[in-house]
A and B are shown apart, each in its own frame.
Chain A
Amino acid sequence: MGITVIQIGGLYMLYMIGSFIQQLLHIPIPGSMIGMLLLFLLLMTGIVKEKWISRGANMLLSHLTLLFIPATVGVMDYVELFSGRGIWSIVIVIVSTMMVMLFAGFIGQWAQTREQKRVREVKGA
Protein backbone atom coordinates (compact mmCIF):
# COMPACT_ATOMS: atom_id res chain seq x y z
CA MET A 1 0.00 0.00 0.00
CA GLY A 2 2.79 2.42 1.02
CA ILE A 3 4.72 1.69 -2.15
CA THR A 4 1.63 2.24 -4.28
CA VAL A 5 1.01 5.64 -2.67
CA ILE A 6 4.64 6.70 -3.19
CA GLN A 7 4.48 5.61 -6.83
CA ILE A 8 1.27 7.59 -7.35
CA GLY A 9 3.14 10.53 -5.81
CA GLY A 10 5.83 10.06 -8.44
CA LEU A 11 3.23 10.04 -11.22
CA TYR A 12 1.72 13.18 -9.71
CA MET A 13 5.12 14.86 -9.90
CA LEU A 14 5.40 14.01 -13.60
CA TYR A 15 1.93 15.49 -14.07
CA MET A 16 3.06 18.68 -12.30
CA ILE A 17 6.18 18.83 -14.47
CA GLY A 18 4.01 18.37 -17.57
CA SER A 19 1.68 21.17 -16.48
CA PHE A 20 4.67 23.37 -15.73
CA ILE A 21 6.10 22.78 -19.21
CA GLN A 22 2.70 23.54 -20.72
CA GLN A 23 2.46 26.88 -18.93
CA LEU A 24 6.08 27.73 -19.59
CA LEU A 25 5.88 27.14 -23.33
CA HIS A 26 2.22 28.20 -23.74
CA ILE A 27 1.41 25.10 -25.77
CA PRO A 28 -2.25 24.05 -26.00
CA ILE A 29 -1.54 20.40 -25.12
CA PRO A 30 -2.79 19.13 -21.75
CA GLY A 31 -0.04 19.01 -19.10
CA SER A 32 -1.12 15.47 -18.22
CA MET A 33 -0.40 14.38 -21.80
CA ILE A 34 3.04 16.01 -21.72
CA GLY A 35 3.70 14.13 -18.47
CA MET A 36 2.62 10.89 -20.14
CA LEU A 37 4.93 11.35 -23.11
CA LEU A 38 7.72 12.24 -20.69
CA LEU A 39 7.17 9.04 -18.72
CA PHE A 40 7.05 7.00 -21.93
CA LEU A 41 10.42 8.45 -22.97
CA LEU A 42 11.88 7.80 -19.51
CA LEU A 43 10.72 4.17 -19.70
CA MET A 44 12.00 3.65 -23.25
CA THR A 45 15.42 5.09 -22.39
CA GLY A 46 15.57 2.97 -19.24
CA ILE A 47 16.03 5.99 -16.97
CA VAL A 48 12.85 4.98 -15.14
CA LYS A 49 12.35 1.25 -14.49
CA GLU A 50 8.92 -0.25 -15.06
CA LYS A 51 8.72 -1.59 -11.50
CA TRP A 52 9.26 1.88 -10.03
CA ILE A 53 5.83 2.99 -11.20
CA SER A 54 3.91 -0.16 -12.16
CA ARG A 55 2.00 -0.64 -8.91
CA GLY A 56 0.87 2.96 -8.67
CA ALA A 57 0.07 3.13 -12.39
CA ASN A 58 -1.96 -0.09 -12.35
CA MET A 59 -3.85 1.07 -9.28
CA LEU A 60 -4.88 4.30 -11.02
CA LEU A 61 -5.64 2.67 -14.36
CA SER A 62 -7.75 -0.16 -13.01
CA HIS A 63 -9.92 2.34 -11.14
CA LEU A 64 -9.89 5.06 -13.78
CA THR A 65 -13.68 4.88 -13.93
CA LEU A 66 -14.00 5.83 -10.26
CA LEU A 67 -11.83 8.89 -10.87
CA PHE A 68 -14.11 10.44 -13.44
CA ILE A 69 -17.44 9.62 -11.85
CA PRO A 70 -17.43 13.02 -10.06
CA ALA A 71 -16.97 14.67 -13.45
CA THR A 72 -19.83 12.82 -15.13
CA VAL A 73 -22.11 13.51 -12.15
CA GLY A 74 -21.63 17.17 -13.10
CA VAL A 75 -24.03 16.61 -15.99
CA MET A 76 -26.85 17.19 -13.45
CA ASP A 77 -26.10 20.90 -13.74
CA TYR A 78 -26.43 20.78 -17.52
CA VAL A 79 -29.65 18.83 -17.96
CA GLU A 80 -31.32 21.80 -19.67
CA LEU A 81 -28.68 21.59 -22.43
CA PHE A 82 -30.16 18.26 -23.46
CA SER A 83 -33.66 19.59 -23.85
CA GLY A 84 -34.52 20.95 -27.29
CA ARG A 85 -31.69 21.12 -29.84
CA GLY A 86 -29.12 19.73 -27.44
CA ILE A 87 -30.61 16.25 -27.73
CA TRP A 88 -29.14 16.10 -31.25
CA SER A 89 -25.69 16.20 -29.75
CA ILE A 90 -26.20 12.62 -28.55
CA VAL A 91 -27.14 11.44 -32.04
CA ILE A 92 -24.14 13.29 -33.47
CA VAL A 93 -21.80 11.63 -30.99
CA ILE A 94 -23.11 8.17 -31.86
CA VAL A 95 -22.93 8.67 -35.64
CA SER A 96 -19.47 10.20 -35.44
CA THR A 97 -18.28 7.35 -33.21
CA MET A 98 -19.45 4.78 -35.77
CA MET A 99 -17.59 6.65 -38.51
CA VAL A 100 -14.34 6.50 -36.54
CA MET A 101 -14.91 2.84 -35.69
CA LEU A 102 -15.44 1.90 -39.34
CA PHE A 103 -12.58 3.92 -40.69
CA ALA A 104 -10.00 2.80 -38.14
CA GLY A 105 -11.29 -0.77 -38.43
CA PHE A 106 -10.96 -0.78 -42.23
CA ILE A 107 -7.40 0.58 -42.17
CA GLY A 108 -6.39 -2.01 -39.60
CA GLN A 109 -8.08 -4.80 -41.55
CA TRP A 110 -6.48 -3.72 -44.81
CA ALA A 111 -3.00 -3.46 -43.29
CA GLN A 112 -3.13 -6.85 -41.62
CA THR A 113 -4.59 -8.68 -44.64
CA ARG A 114 -1.89 -7.15 -46.84
CA GLU A 115 0.78 -8.20 -44.35
CA GLN A 116 -0.55 -11.76 -44.24
CA LYS A 117 -0.64 -11.93 -48.03
CA ARG A 118 2.96 -10.73 -48.21
CA VAL A 119 4.09 -13.33 -45.67
CA ARG A 120 2.32 -16.05 -47.67
CA GLU A 121 3.94 -14.90 -50.93
CA VAL A 122 7.40 -14.88 -49.34
CA LYS A 123 6.80 -18.37 -48.01
CA GLY A 124 5.46 -19.55 -51.39
CA ALA A 125 8.53 -18.24 -53.24
Chain B
Amino acid sequence: MIGVSLLIWTIVVYIAMRKLYARFYFPLLVPVATSTVVIIMTLSLFHLSYDQYMIGGKWLVHLLGPAVVALALPLYQHRHTLKQFLWPLLCSTFFGTIIGMGSGLLFARLFHLPEKIVRSIIPKSVTSPVAMDIAKLIDGIPTLAAVYVMIAGIFGAMFGPILFQRLHITTALGIGSGLGAASHGIGTAKALEIGRKEAAISSVAMTLSAIFASLLCPLLLLL
Protein backbone atom coordinates (compact mmCIF):
# COMPACT_ATOMS: atom_id res chain seq x y z
CA MET B 1 0.00 0.00 0.00
CA ILE B 2 2.79 2.39 0.98
CA GLY B 3 4.59 1.31 -2.19
CA VAL B 4 1.70 2.14 -4.49
CA SER B 5 0.90 5.48 -2.85
CA LEU B 6 4.54 6.58 -2.99
CA LEU B 7 4.70 5.52 -6.63
CA ILE B 8 1.64 7.65 -7.40
CA TRP B 9 3.11 10.50 -5.33
CA THR B 10 6.32 10.30 -7.36
CA ILE B 11 4.36 10.66 -10.59
CA VAL B 12 2.31 13.56 -9.20
CA VAL B 13 5.42 15.40 -7.97
CA TYR B 14 7.13 14.77 -11.31
CA ILE B 15 4.22 16.25 -13.28
CA ALA B 16 4.05 19.29 -10.99
CA MET B 17 7.82 19.89 -11.17
CA ARG B 18 7.74 19.57 -14.96
CA LYS B 19 5.10 22.29 -15.05
CA LEU B 20 7.20 24.46 -12.76
CA TYR B 21 10.25 24.04 -15.00
CA ALA B 22 8.24 24.77 -18.16
CA ARG B 23 7.13 28.00 -16.50
CA PHE B 24 10.54 29.33 -15.42
CA TYR B 25 13.12 27.38 -17.44
CA PHE B 26 15.87 27.94 -14.91
CA PRO B 27 18.46 25.10 -14.88
CA LEU B 28 18.42 24.71 -11.07
CA LEU B 29 14.73 23.84 -11.39
CA VAL B 30 15.23 20.81 -13.66
CA PRO B 31 12.50 18.34 -12.69
CA VAL B 32 14.88 15.60 -11.59
CA ALA B 33 16.47 17.89 -8.97
CA THR B 34 13.29 19.46 -7.64
CA SER B 35 11.34 16.17 -7.63
CA THR B 36 14.16 14.45 -5.74
CA VAL B 37 14.21 17.17 -3.08
CA VAL B 38 10.41 17.17 -2.66
CA ILE B 39 10.27 13.38 -2.36
CA ILE B 40 13.13 13.18 0.13
CA MET B 41 11.34 15.86 2.20
CA THR B 42 8.11 13.87 2.05
CA LEU B 43 9.86 10.69 3.17
CA SER B 44 11.57 12.34 6.12
CA LEU B 45 8.36 14.09 7.12
CA PHE B 46 6.57 10.72 7.41
CA HIS B 47 9.66 8.90 8.77
CA LEU B 48 9.75 6.52 5.81
CA SER B 49 12.93 4.77 4.71
CA TYR B 50 14.37 4.53 1.22
CA ASP B 51 13.69 0.78 1.21
CA GLN B 52 10.00 1.42 1.87
CA TYR B 53 9.98 3.96 -0.95
CA MET B 54 11.59 1.50 -3.34
CA ILE B 55 8.74 -1.04 -2.93
CA GLY B 56 6.93 1.09 -5.50
CA GLY B 57 9.93 2.93 -6.91
CA LYS B 58 11.56 -0.21 -8.27
CA TRP B 59 8.88 -0.41 -10.96
CA LEU B 60 10.14 2.80 -12.47
CA VAL B 61 13.74 1.62 -12.23
CA HIS B 62 12.80 -1.52 -14.20
CA LEU B 63 11.98 0.73 -17.15
CA LEU B 64 15.46 2.28 -17.27
CA GLY B 65 16.92 -0.65 -19.23
CA PRO B 66 14.42 -0.44 -22.11
CA ALA B 67 14.75 3.38 -21.99
CA VAL B 68 18.47 3.09 -22.77
CA VAL B 69 17.61 0.72 -25.62
CA ALA B 70 15.17 3.38 -26.86
CA LEU B 71 18.07 5.86 -27.28
CA ALA B 72 18.73 4.06 -30.56
CA LEU B 73 15.69 5.82 -32.00
CA PRO B 74 16.98 9.44 -31.84
CA LEU B 75 20.36 8.24 -33.03
CA TYR B 76 18.64 6.62 -36.02
CA GLN B 77 16.46 9.65 -36.68
CA HIS B 78 19.50 11.93 -36.67
CA ARG B 79 21.56 9.53 -38.79
CA HIS B 80 22.04 12.19 -41.49
CA THR B 81 23.46 14.66 -38.97
CA LEU B 82 25.63 11.84 -37.67
CA LYS B 83 26.88 11.04 -41.17
CA GLN B 84 27.46 14.68 -42.09
CA PHE B 85 29.59 15.39 -39.02
CA LEU B 86 30.83 11.87 -38.36
CA TRP B 87 34.52 12.55 -37.67
CA PRO B 88 34.20 15.77 -35.67
CA LEU B 89 31.46 14.17 -33.59
CA LEU B 90 33.43 10.97 -33.01
CA CYS B 91 36.54 13.00 -32.07
CA SER B 92 34.82 15.44 -29.75
CA THR B 93 32.82 12.77 -27.92
CA PHE B 94 35.66 10.23 -27.78
CA PHE B 95 38.17 12.67 -26.32
CA GLY B 96 35.46 14.44 -24.33
CA THR B 97 34.59 11.15 -22.67
CA ILE B 98 38.23 10.41 -21.90
CA ILE B 99 38.73 13.90 -20.43
CA GLY B 100 35.53 13.64 -18.41
CA MET B 101 36.30 10.25 -16.92
CA GLY B 102 40.04 10.85 -16.63
CA SER B 103 39.80 14.23 -14.91
CA GLY B 104 37.07 12.93 -12.59
CA LEU B 105 39.22 9.97 -11.63
CA LEU B 106 42.38 12.06 -11.28
CA PHE B 107 40.85 14.85 -9.16
CA ALA B 108 38.97 12.37 -6.98
CA ARG B 109 42.21 10.47 -6.31
CA LEU B 110 44.10 13.74 -5.66
CA PHE B 111 41.55 14.70 -3.03
CA HIS B 112 41.75 11.22 -1.50
CA LEU B 113 38.04 10.60 -1.80
CA PRO B 114 36.74 7.19 -0.69
CA GLU B 115 37.01 4.55 -3.42
CA LYS B 116 33.22 4.14 -3.68
CA ILE B 117 32.87 7.85 -4.45
CA VAL B 118 35.73 7.80 -6.95
CA ARG B 119 34.06 4.98 -8.86
CA SER B 120 30.71 6.76 -8.81
CA ILE B 121 32.18 10.02 -10.15
CA ILE B 122 33.82 8.48 -13.23
CA PRO B 123 30.69 8.01 -15.41
CA LYS B 124 29.16 11.42 -14.54
CA SER B 125 29.19 12.84 -18.08
CA VAL B 126 26.80 10.29 -19.56
CA THR B 127 23.06 9.94 -19.33
CA SER B 128 21.85 8.65 -15.92
CA PRO B 129 20.64 5.14 -16.80
CA VAL B 130 23.91 4.34 -18.56
CA ALA B 131 25.98 5.96 -15.81
CA MET B 132 24.17 3.85 -13.22
CA ASP B 133 24.82 0.68 -15.19
CA ILE B 134 28.48 1.60 -15.54
CA ALA B 135 28.76 2.41 -11.83
CA LYS B 136 27.27 -0.99 -11.02
CA LEU B 137 29.81 -2.73 -13.25
CA ILE B 138 32.84 -0.95 -11.76
CA ASP B 139 31.71 -1.30 -8.11
CA GLY B 140 30.58 2.27 -7.62
CA ILE B 141 27.23 3.27 -6.11
CA PRO B 142 24.62 3.63 -8.89
CA THR B 143 22.52 6.07 -6.84
CA LEU B 144 25.48 8.32 -6.19
CA ALA B 145 26.46 8.13 -9.86
CA ALA B 146 22.96 9.35 -10.78
CA VAL B 147 23.38 12.32 -8.41
CA TYR B 148 26.73 13.30 -9.95
CA VAL B 149 25.19 12.97 -13.40
CA MET B 150 22.49 15.36 -12.27
CA ILE B 151 25.06 17.87 -10.98
CA ALA B 152 27.04 17.64 -14.25
CA GLY B 153 23.83 18.21 -16.21
CA ILE B 154 22.55 21.15 -14.18
CA PHE B 155 25.81 23.07 -14.00
CA GLY B 156 26.67 22.33 -17.62
CA ALA B 157 23.32 23.69 -18.75
CA MET B 158 23.67 26.72 -16.47
CA PHE B 159 27.20 27.78 -17.38
CA GLY B 160 27.71 26.19 -20.79
CA PRO B 161 26.06 28.96 -22.84
CA ILE B 162 28.01 31.69 -20.97
CA LEU B 163 31.25 29.79 -21.51
CA PHE B 164 30.56 29.37 -25.23
CA GLN B 165 29.84 33.07 -25.58
CA ARG B 166 33.04 34.11 -23.82
CA LEU B 167 35.18 31.74 -25.88
CA HIS B 168 33.46 32.44 -29.20
CA ILE B 169 32.12 28.96 -29.68
CA THR B 170 29.24 29.85 -31.95
CA THR B 171 28.65 27.04 -34.43
CA ALA B 172 25.92 24.44 -34.01
CA LEU B 173 28.54 21.72 -34.03
CA GLY B 174 30.56 23.39 -31.27
CA ILE B 175 27.63 24.16 -28.99
CA GLY B 176 25.87 20.85 -29.63
CA SER B 177 28.94 18.69 -29.00
CA GLY B 178 29.85 20.60 -25.86
CA LEU B 179 26.43 20.39 -24.26
CA GLY B 180 25.79 16.78 -25.29
CA ALA B 181 29.19 15.40 -24.32
CA ALA B 182 29.36 17.16 -20.95
CA SER B 183 25.74 17.43 -19.84
CA HIS B 184 23.83 14.62 -21.61
CA GLY B 185 20.01 14.95 -21.49
CA ILE B 186 19.87 18.16 -19.45
CA GLY B 187 22.41 19.72 -21.82
CA THR B 188 20.38 18.57 -24.81
CA ALA B 189 17.28 20.24 -23.38
CA LYS B 190 19.33 23.45 -23.10
CA ALA B 191 20.56 22.99 -26.68
CA LEU B 192 16.96 22.81 -27.85
CA GLU B 193 16.42 26.32 -26.45
CA ILE B 194 19.26 27.50 -28.70
CA GLY B 195 18.20 25.72 -31.87
CA ARG B 196 16.99 22.49 -33.44
CA LYS B 197 20.29 21.75 -35.11
CA GLU B 198 22.20 22.26 -31.86
CA ALA B 199 19.76 19.88 -30.16
CA ALA B 200 20.12 17.21 -32.85
CA ILE B 201 23.91 17.35 -32.57
CA SER B 202 23.71 17.39 -28.79
CA SER B 203 21.54 14.28 -28.69
CA VAL B 204 23.88 12.44 -31.04
CA ALA B 205 26.89 13.58 -28.96
CA MET B 206 25.15 12.42 -25.79
CA THR B 207 24.50 8.96 -27.23
CA LEU B 208 28.00 8.61 -28.64
CA SER B 209 29.46 9.62 -25.26
CA ALA B 210 27.36 6.97 -23.56
CA ILE B 211 28.65 4.34 -25.99
CA PHE B 212 32.28 5.42 -25.54
CA ALA B 213 31.95 5.59 -21.77
CA SER B 214 30.54 2.06 -21.67
CA LEU B 215 33.44 0.81 -23.76
CA LEU B 216 36.22 2.82 -22.11
CA CYS B 217 35.28 2.85 -18.45
CA PRO B 218 36.34 -0.72 -17.69
CA LEU B 219 39.64 -0.09 -19.49
CA LEU B 220 40.30 3.13 -17.58
CA LEU B 221 40.15 1.34 -14.26
CA LEU B 222 42.70 -1.21 -15.40
CA LEU B 223 45.30 1.59 -15.47
Residues of B near A103 (CB, < 8 A) are: 92, 95-96, 99
Tell me the chain B residues, 177-206 only, with Cβ under 8 Å from chain A.
177-183, 185, 201, 205
Known contacts A73-B40, A100-B125, A112-B174: does B185 contact A64 (CB below 8 Å)? yes
**Is the beta-carbon distance between A32 and B133 smaller than 8 angstroms?**
yes
| Chain B residues with CB below 8 A from A70, complex form | 10, 53-54, 57-58, 60-61
List residues 142-167 of chain B with CB under 8 A from any CB of chain A.
Answer: 142-144, 146-148, 150-152, 155-156, 159-160, 163-164, 167
Least CB distance, A52 to chain B, in whole angstroms? 11
CA distance A44 to B211 in the complex (A): 17
Which residues, 70 to 85 on A, are CB-close (under 8 Å) to B?
70-78, 81, 85
Chain B residue at minimal CB-CB distance from A94 = B155
Whether B70 pairs with A76 at a CB distance below 8 angstroms is no
Chain B residue total in the interface (Cβ 8 A): 113
| B8 adjacent to chain A (CB < 8 Å) | no
Asked if A37 contacts B171 (CB within 8 A), the reply is no
Known pairs A33-B210, A67-B61, A68-B128 / 16 extra A-B pairs, C-beta < 8 Å: A12-B66, A15-B65, A35-B66, A39-B73, A65-B185, A71-B143, A73-B39, A75-B147, A78-B141, A81-B114, A85-B113, A96-B100, A102-B167, A103-B95, A105-B174, A108-B178
